[in-house]
Amino acid sequence: MKILLLHQYFLEEDDPGGSRFNEMAKAWADAGHQVTVLAGMVHYAGSGKRPEYKGRWFVRKQHGSVEVWRCHVSESYNKSFLGRLWAYFAFVFSSIYAGLFKVKGRYDVVLATSPPLFIGITAYVLGRARRLPVVFEVRDLWPESAIDTGVLTNPWIIRLSYWFEAFIYRKSRLVNVLTPAFREKLIEKGVPQEKILFIPNAADFSLSDEVLAGFNRPAFRQKMGWEGKMVVTYVGAHGVANHLIQVLDAAELLRDTPAAHLVLVGSGMQKPMLMAEAEKRGLRNVQFIEPVPKREVFRYIAASDFGASILKKVDTFKTIYSNKTFDYMSCRRPVLMAIDGVSRQLVEEAGCGLYVEPENPADFAAGVKQCLDMSEAERQRMGEAGYVYARTHFDRQKLAEQYLEQLKRAAHSI
């Protein structure tokens, strides 16, 4: 099987954190399939281009057996909405060129993952030019999420986005969604039910089991100064959609609970503001940690008492699974879930955590106190329940195999 993957945010090999498709692509390549990725030079949480990309339009790299073409993205990405829009289209133009003139050989299928929605333009053009079926993945309901968070307000762009969304669904052979709620939304939008796949986000057990084998949790906690504390750790982006100011608001309410300690690992546009605000308020119960590689992320999670999943309180986010929830589950950590909808349902069905209302600092603080009141045995029971549930329903290796079968289905249905 020869797969041409379009993913603007495909991570570098040494990037912190982890990515669904970095791991999927590796699994497919390890199984003997050919995977070529068209990716961007600027990541959504980054600060600009790496030195090796300066002044260059295309750079070919090798991630193990996976070939990656880094394509030009404007460095205006993190400066404003218009800058971000221009960056999206800069990638559209550069990735189309790379797909037509840089990538050699025949392929069986084009797989595009969004956001941004505009990557569908590249998918459509390359699909037509190379006479390949397109499989389009929806990781986020766009433009709804951009509208709900106030990022997208221009009525003309909103109208154009909805039109193009319908167009790309119509032109794709299959459409994959990451949650059952996405599937219902797409059916409401008129996408035929038989065209919709459901291959969700997943837990990477191969890495978590490897990293945590023999992990010295007490020593790590001692190194971090976490002894005698009940640590709730959030891992992920620090952006508008995450609305992490609610964590600082909750921390203020927990000043009289010295054992409660809140940790934020990652980066994003709002991190400088959050750090300045924490310093201004004198919050010593909040700790900021710079992004670390996925392997190290699992150590921070495993050393914590709870993992936190947090998003802004908007209706669109009721339809999504938070990526990091699966990391917490794979590390046998219970979850403090500050996202309503399907994410809340996931935690409640698995019996692996507590729900607190998003953007309600008092409820968040009360949830932290409830975590603190639990016995270590109860936390371990919740963590183990999440691990077993994720093993059963969200094992990345199994889902990678399922995805591959659907890609073959699309390729053979021409």
Q: What SS3 state is found at 35?
A: strand
Are residues 249 and 357 in contact, defined by beta-carbon separation less than 8 angstroms?
A: no
Instruction: Pull the structure tokens for residue 202.
Output: 């997943």
Q: Which residue has the higher pLDDT, 46 or 395?
A: 395
pLDDT over 80 (residue 370): yes
Highest-scoring range by mean pLDDT, 85-94, 125-134, 288-297: 125-134
Angle at 176 between CA 170 and CA 177, to 5 degrees: 110
Q: What integer pLDDT is reported at residue 368 of this predicted model?
A: 97
Domains of the chain: 2-202+395-412 (3.40.50.2000), 205-393 (3.40.50.2000)
Question: How do residues 295-312 score in pLDDT, each as one tens digit?
Answer: 899 999 999 999 999 999
Instruction: Pull the structure tokens for residue 393.
Output: 């329903």
Q: For 117, phi and psi rounded to 5 degrees?
A: -60, -30
Question: How do residues 73-85 score in pLDDT, each as one tens digit?
Answer: 887 655 666 667 7
Give 3-state DSSP helix, strand, coil % of the chain, rounded to 5: 50, 20, 35
Instruction: Pull the structure tokens for residue 354.
Output: 């507590």
* Mean pLDDT score across all residues of the chain: 90
Closest CA to 24 of 181, 176, 240: 176
Mean pLDDT of 315-338: 92
Distance of CA 414 to the CA centre of its chain: 32
Q: What integer pLDDT is reported at residue 312 of this predicted model?
A: 92
Mean pLDDT of 178-188: 89
Instruction: Pull the structure tokens for residue 309.
Output: 């999943």
Closest CA to 177 of 139, 146, 143: 139
Mean pLDDT of 219-248: 95
pTM equals: 0.79
